[in-house]
Structure 1
Amino acid sequence: MNLFLLSQLLACGAFMLDVLAFQFSRRVVSLTFLACSTSLLAFHFWLLDETSASGMMILAACRYLTATITTRSTLKWSFLGASVLCSLMTWQHPADALPLAGSLMMTLAAFQPDAGRLRILTLGGSLFWLSNNLLAGSPVAVVMEATFMMSTLISYRRLKQAKGMG
């Protein structure tokens, strides 16, 4: 099996976890699914020689696991700083700004105690990752991110309806 095919299979696994992630109302469960998904994506991007994106996904997995335990602001700022540092250390080309922007938005999202804000900020970060996946030439990751965005929108709507706001 060649490395590109393996990368696409890993992205498929992440895809399934992403679709499930926000179908749970408890943020801890959603964040746990996202930690598993981003772990697979770290390896996916590494196989595609997208070092910056891979590093951001490793940080994302750690961030999501941490956010299942706490939403402390000091940890949020630590992960924001780690994202910038990771980006500086792995920078290869201007497109590496996309994983950085996506990671920063997703970090802000992960440390939101409110499930609705978590989903809205996640959508913003997903736009940057969708752009990155297009430029990285990963068809499965593009479909995954677009579907993840739709799943997040659906779950946000369901969350609003459950709270009697929609």
Structure 2
Amino acid sequence: MPEWNLAQAIGMVAFVIGATAFLHSDGRRFRLHLMVFQVVLCSHFIMMGALVAAFGCGISAIRSYASTKTQSTPVMLFFIAMLWVMGVPQLEHSYELLTIFGSSVATWALFKTQGIQMRLLVMFNSFCWVTNNLLLGSIGGTLMELTFIIVNSLTILRMYRTGLRTPA
């Protein structure tokens, strides 16, 4: 059982902030909410000594904001490159690669997709991160990603149903 400390408490704060991000159907609000969540989660991972995860969250926070301003391929590629350049040298465990790969997929999704497709790809990222968080022992991070998967699934279902009722 992981130890309860300030780092875990910050992780729980991130969980509370992040738990509502996937309720947004509006892509811009979704991206901005993700940014706030990722900044807080970055602090949690720094305090836990998980530098790959911290770099991933920090870069992802900036990426989430940038994706509200541009859908530029060079900007997207910059963020993906940063994930790999900053993350790989910090790897201590093979499972940490999941965070880099998942975050790369989510970056592509935020810059190049919309709607349900974007949320499905971001959900793939959540599966990568839940595995990392379980192995790391992050209570808030694990709860958060599991909640993301559930809430994101419900939002996708709601968006799908709304799409079926909307005439083409």
Same fold by TM-score, threshold 0.5 exceeded?
A: yes
Give 1:86-165 correspondences, 5 Å limit: 86-164=86-164
C-alpha deviation, 1:89, in angstroms: 2.9
Instruction: Please name the residue that 2:82 is paired with.
Output: 82
Instruction: State the identity %.
Output: 24
Equivalenced residue count is: 164
Instruction: Please identify, of 114-123 and 103-112, the stretch whose mean Cα deviation from structure 2 is larger.
Output: 103-112
Note if contact 2:12-2:139 (Cα within 8 Å) is conserved in structure 1: no
Shift of 1:20: 1.2
Tell me, in whole angstroms, the C-alpha distance in 2 between the residues paired with 1:4 and 1:98.
25
Is residue 14–residue 140 contact of structure 2 (8 Å, CA) maintained in 1?
Answer: no
1:113 Cα shift? 3.9
- Residue 38 of structure 1 corresponds to which residue in structure 2? 38
Is this contact kept in 2: 1:129–1:145, CA < 8 A? yes
Instruction: State the Cα distance separating 1:17 from its structure 2 match.
Output: 2.2
What is the alpha-carbon distance in structure 2 between the residues aligned to residue 4 and residue 36 of structure 1? 23
Q: How does 1:61-80 map to 2 (within 5 A)?
A: 61-80=61-80
Stretches of structure 1 that go unaligned for 5 or more consecutive residues are none
Q: How far 1:165 moved relative to its partner?
A: 6.5
1:95-116 Cα deviation digits (max 9, x unpaired): 2212111211211221134121
Q: Which residue of 2 aligns with 1:58?
A: 58
1:13 matched to 2:3? The reply is no
For 2:81 and 2:165, locate their aligned partners in 1 and report how far apart those are by CA, in whole Å.
35
State the TM-score, normalizing by the size of structure 1. Answer: 0.92
TM-score by length of 2: 0.91
Structure 1 vs Structure 2 CA RMSD: 1.7
Deviation per CA, 1:46-66: give whole Å up to 9, x if none: 111101110010000000000
Q: Is the 8 A contact 1:4 1:47 kept in 2?
A: no
Structure 2 unaligned spans of 5+: none
CA distance in 2, matches of 1:48, 1:29: 29
